Structures are given as C-alpha cells and as structure tokens.
Chains A and B, each alone.
Chain A
Amino acid sequence: SQTIHQWPATLVQPVGSPLSLECTVEGTSNPNLYWYRQAAGRGLQLLFYSIGIGQISSEVPQNLSASRPQDRQFILSSKKLLLSDSGFYLCAWSPDRNQPQHFGDGTRLSIL
C-alpha cells in the first residue's frame, strides 16, 4: 500500500534562516506531488505541484522553492525565512491530477 511521510512535524526557526522540508512517498511510482500551506485561520493554498522528476509548477509567487530530485521525493526550501512563512505545510500525492489526493501529517512551522 502507498504511504506518505513528511517531516519534521513541528519546526521553530528564526527569521532569515534557511528551510528544508522533506516529503517522500512509498508504494507508487511517478505520483503527482503537491505542497500546500495553511496560514493560521485561513484555507489551504497550493504552493507547488510536480508531475515528474525535475518538473515543478509554482502556483503563487513567494519566498519558497520546491525540488523533486527523485521520483518519490519532494522538497520545500527557502534560503531566508520571513515571518510570513509561518504556517502549516502539507505534502500530498495523487496518481494523477483528477484522482483524490493523499496528505501527509503536515509540518507546523513557526518563525520567530
């Protein structure tokens, strides 16, 4: 069966520090991968999605970047975090864009 792993569960970082959040999927190949952010009291916002290795689409301009170095690995990064980057980050996968997405447990990021 397929599983999705996302870590860490919580992270506290100072403003200006770098960020790397990792997401891996097991039990499937060539999945669509997604990064979402949920700011406090707000809805989900799609940040990036990827349909294959090295193929990243950005949905909104921002301080973050994403990479997919391997088929089932999706990384969310920043060189310098801003206060506004605080939020709940979720990784998800689906077999294709019109199939239900399966979510990781999320990373709660606090910027101080």
Chain B
Amino acid sequence: KNEVEQSPQNLTAQEGEFITINCSYSVGISALHWLQQHPGGGIVSLFMLSSGKKKHGRLIATINIQEKHSSLHITASHPRDSAVYICAANTNAGKSTFGDGTTLTVKP
C-alpha cells in the first residue's frame, strides 16, 4: 500500500462541473503539496498546506490532519483544467512521497 493514495485515478467531467480529487496519507506529515502536471510534462505547484483550507481562484485545497486526508476542489471546471493532479506529502521523516496522480479531463 502506498503511503499516499489518490482517488480517483481518472476523472472525466463536463465543463462547469464541480470537481473533487482526494488524497489520503498514512504517514505523519509536515506539509501536503498539490501539484498540476500539464500534458507537455511541466509541473506547477498549486498549494502547500499543513492545516485548514487554501483558495486560489477556482481552486480550493483542504486538509484534515486528524483524518489524514486532503481534497482538491475545482469550481466551474474548464477544459484548460485538464491535467494530472498530484498530491505529495512532506513527511516528518524529511521525505517527499507522491501519489500516483489523478488524470482529469474536462470536456467542453
């Protein structure tokens, strides 16, 4: 079992839909990182959070430390949101552990 599990693995949505991607981890963390990887391979950092909730535009990330769970939400999804979304845990042991990613396709 991976230390960081993401679900779903693949997600297809219609433009405008509200999207949720989930990340569960089984290790102690100092911070959790959400990344976006575009089809060409480039990676962009979306959020890093250790508690509560962060919002940037149409993106919202939440984390529940007690439940060891984080979610990434996209409101009013758009085809340009199509990408692979990756959850990464900075563990208390000083390691970075990555989920396998969620491939999101938003259809017009």
Contact = CB atoms under 8 A, between A and B. Distances in A.
Interface residues of B, number: 22
Interface string A38-63: 10001111100100000000010000
A109 to B, nearest CB: 12
A98 interface: yes
A101 B46 CA distance: 10
Contacts, number: 51
Contacts of B31: 98
Interface SS of B by simple majority: strand
Contacts of B48: 98-100
Given A92-B43, A100-B47, 9 more contacts: A45-B98, A46-B95, A97-B90, A98-B48, A98-B50, A98-B90, A100-B33, A102-B45, A103-B35
Interface of B: 30-31, 33, 35, 41-45, 47-48, 50, 86, 88, 90, 94-96, 98-101
